[in-house]
Amino acid sequence: MIETILKNALAQGASDLFILPGAPIQMKIKGQMQALDDRRIMPQESWQLIQEIYEHSSRPIDTLTGTGDDDFSFSLPQTGRFRCNAYRQRNSFASVIRIIPFGLPDFRQMHIPEQVIDLSTAKSGMILVTGPAGSGKSTTLACMIEAINTSRPGHIITLEDPIEFIYSHKKCLVSQREIELDTRDYATALRAALRQTPDTILLGEMRDFSTIQTAVTAAETGQLILSTLHTLGAAKTIDRIIDSFPYGSREQIRVQLSMVLKAVVSQQLVPSEDGTLIPVFEIMIVTPAIANLIREGKIHQIDNVIYSNRASGMRTMDSSLLDLYQQGIISKETAIAYAQDKTMMTRRMSAERV
């Protein structure tokens, strides 16, 4: 039964599927919730569907029943890949499933700017893709990894929780490791990766101080590190990294970041005028001026540098939103609602009409 449900969701272009007892099975399509049918499923039915998911994944169900939470991925032949978060709620079991079609995304179809993909030409250092959950960070990173895989020889190691996109060996050899299934945790896997002669390491998420510290060290040793953080905006991302370190080490991490950080790409999904969700990007490239601001702790000045360096490929989130509004792709209300500085966005729009 779960196979039929997933195929139906995939055919309708759903991004997520929700199985919760007491409610109809629902899909998220273009950011809107839509019921599969009107029938509410009972706890026993949701448990049966979740058991079927575990059978397809060949994963023991003990983690879910023992802890109440589990996160993993699985595939259906000739259909697609799926990321499942199963959990206990109100003494019953539920799940939310992210739908990942087979094949790697095309960055043009995903509306990812070429400037973002061009960042993958870096041979070393750290590139961060940031944004809220569900904003498309994994898709952007997948496009960057595939650009590396098709353009130059090397060894790519991906560390993910769970694995989403599957890569073929092309110009690069690609090792893909799943946290908990193939290795204990991110920090352990990252330390091990440094002994596996990598050229590029994709780190699914920098979750804690230990992982961030190891990632920065790896970038210093000559690898290219691609990773994510749940922050929005380059300045907030840098602050988040620095604040994760003990107070006495913050001057040192500022110096390290100023040397290894190559770029920060922030993104969020916004509704367009035609009813679809499209990504909006902020791009910060670490120039000598920005590196100096990081080193001196003047992070609050970074937004001004990004804004004044559009000719070099940088853009602020609010400038990207304004561009989409001027092109008629998003509404005025959407541009203001998703702006980082709503007052300034309103003023810029008003100035256009004068």
The mean per-residue pLDDT over the stretch 233-250 comes to: 95
- Unique residue bearing structure tokens 């079991």: 93
Measured CA to CA, the distance from residue 317 to residue 17 in angstroms comes to 29
Which value, to the nearest 10 degrees, does the dihedral of the CA atoms of residues 323, 327, 331, 336 take? 10
Please indicate, yes or no, whether residues 153 and 284 belong to a single structural domain of this protein: yes
Q: Is residue 195 part of a domain?
A: yes
209: how many CB neighbours lie within 10 A of its CB?
A: 15
CB 16 within 8 A of CB 99: yes
What pLDDT sits at residue 354? 46
Q: Which residues contact 43 (CB under 8 A, 6 or more apart)?
A: 21, 22, 92, 93
CATH of residue 301's domain is 3.40.50.300
**pLDDT tens digit sequence for 56-69:** 998 899 999 999 99
77 and 164 both lie in a single domain: no
Domain boundary among 68, 101, 134: 101
SS3 call for 152:
coil
pLDDT tens-digit profile of 83-119? Answer: 999 999 999 999 999 998 778 889 999 999 999 999 9
The per-residue pLDDT of the chain, averaged, comes to 93
Say if strands 125-130 and 261-271 run parallel, antiparallel, or are unpaired: parallel
Counted domains in the chain: 2
Helix (H, G, I), strand (E, B) or coil at 165: coil
54 assigned to some structural domain: yes
Structure tokens at 316: 């602020």
User: If you write DSSP's letter for every residue of 16-38 in order, what string do you get?
Assistant: EEEE-TTS--EEEETTEEEES-S
Separation of alpha carbons 8 and 6, rounded Å: 5
Of all residues in the chain, the percent with pLDDT exceeding 90 is: 83
Q: Can you read off the two tokens belonging to residue 32?
A: 């809107």
pLDDT digit string, tens, across residues 172-188: 999 999 988 899 999 89
**Are both 205 and 277 inside the same structural domain?**
yes
Residue 248 lies in a domain: yes
Q: Return the pLDDT at 353.
A: 60
Nearest of 201, 154, 197, 212 to residue 176 by alpha carbon:
201
Look at residue 211 and tell me whether its pLDDT is greater than 70: yes
Helix, strand or coil for residue 160? strand
Residues 94 and 174 in one domain: no
Domain that residue 239 falls in: 114-315
User: 244 and 135: one domain?
Assistant: yes
In terms of C-beta distances under 8 Å and separation of at least 24 residues, what long-range contacts does 304-309 make, across chains too? Answer: 306/234, 306/282, 309/285
Residue 168 DSSP SS3: coil
Residue 152 lies in a domain: yes
Is the same domain home to 44 and 173? no
Q: How far apart are CA 221 and CA 190, in angstroms?
A: 13
